[in-house]
């Protein structure tokens, strides 16, 4: 498996902090490092971290890239995230926001980039979501990045029998990178600049979550997928 240099360095420095504030799915720190290799972040940029959970990736972005981050989440209390941001010394750069994906308090074109780690599939499978909501938030020439659970290929004969007892309804939002590419590209609002499976995606996913589900996936449908795009 690949070497996560930036993430390992960061993780080791703050190990206690990360262990106490556990991640909500596949290792968010590894995912943000992989995503950051495909997008171009510069100090001072304004970033939306959509579905940031406990805000670990927002802290990482502020510390490693000197960007300002709007750490947007629904399930995790913004006051809890704010405490973490103070503890990590980034409270002047990372702002905790509590907002649902269809009711966001941001102006159109406000962000230089919008990223989403293990979250976009919860609301983004609706064909209208990108053109009516998410796609509007980033300025012309700005970037989008999505990384999270997905499929190596769409199920052609339904959900495999081996996975049925481990499958929750929200997992039907898992799709292939090509499926996501087609959905965004056809809007004409962006050029999709990268889409594909994360190398060793299933093994990376297994590091922090969902062992039984991944074992039940005997036909290797499950993986992590990555997509980036630039606003036209
Ligand atoms: C599996 S967690 C991942 C959190 C974090 N990015 C990580 O990787 O640790 C998914 C996150 O998406 C957020 N989310 C799900 N549905 C949402 C919605 N409709 N609007 C805003 N956020 C949502 C949840 O609040 C949750 O924290």
Please give the pLDDT value at position 10: 72
Pocket test for ligand 1, best of 75, 94, 117, 198 (most atoms within 8 A of CB): 75
62 neighbors 95 (Cβ within 8 angstroms): no
pLDDT tens digits for 179-204?
A: 999 999 999 999 999 999 999 999 99
Range with lowest mean pLDDT among 3-7, 81-85, 202-206: 3-7
Strands 68-73 and 190-197, bridge-based pairing: unpaired
Closest residue CA from atom 8 of ligand 1: 28
Does residue 105 come out as left (phi exceeding 0), alpha (psi in the -120 to 50 range) or beta?
alpha
pLDDT tens digits for 39-53?
A: 999 999 999 999 999
- Architecture (CATH level 2) of domain 5-231: 3-Layer(aba) Sandwich (3.40)
pLDDT tens digits for 208-224?
A: 778 999 999 999 999 99
Structural domain spans, the chain: 5-231
Q: Ligand 1 centre and the CA of 125: distance in Å?
A: 14
The verdict on the CB of residue 176 being under 6 Å from ligand 1 is: no
The verdict on the CB of residue 26 being under 6 Å from ligand 1 is: no
pLDDT tens digits for 9-27?
A: 777 766 666 666 666 777 8
Chain centroid, CA 26 distance in Å: 10
Pocket test for ligand 1, best of 122, 174, 209 (most atoms within 8 A of CB): 122
């Amino acid at each position: 498996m690949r070497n996560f240099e930036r993430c390992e360095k960061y993780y080791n420095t703050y190990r206690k902090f990360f262990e106490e504030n556990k991640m909500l799915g596949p290792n968010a720190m590894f995912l943000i490092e992989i995503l950051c290799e495909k997008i171009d972040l510069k100090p001072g940029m304004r970033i939306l971290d959509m579905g940031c959970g406990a805000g670990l990736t927002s802290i990482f972005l502020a510390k490693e890239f000197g960007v300002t981050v709007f750490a947007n989440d629904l399930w995790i209390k913004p006051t809890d995230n704010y405490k973490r941001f103070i503890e990590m010394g980034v409270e002047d750069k990372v702002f905790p926001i509590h907002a649902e994906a269809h009711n966001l308090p941001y102006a159109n074109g406000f962000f230089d980039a919008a990223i989403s780690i293990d979250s976009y599939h919860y609301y983004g499978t609706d064909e209208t979501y990108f053109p009516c909501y998410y796609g509007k938030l980033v300025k012309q020439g700005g970037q989008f990045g999505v990384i999270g659970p997905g499929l190596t290929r769409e199920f052609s004969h339904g959900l495999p029998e081996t996975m049925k007892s481990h499958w929750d309804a929200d997992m039907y939002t898992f799709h292939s990178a090509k499926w996501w590419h087609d959905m965004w590209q056809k809007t004409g609002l962006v050029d999709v600049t990268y889409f594909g499976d994360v190398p060793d995606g299933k093994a990376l996913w297994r590091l922090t979550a969902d062992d039984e589900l991944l074992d039940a996936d005997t036909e290797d449908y499950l993986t992590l997928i990555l997509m980036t795009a630039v606003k036209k």
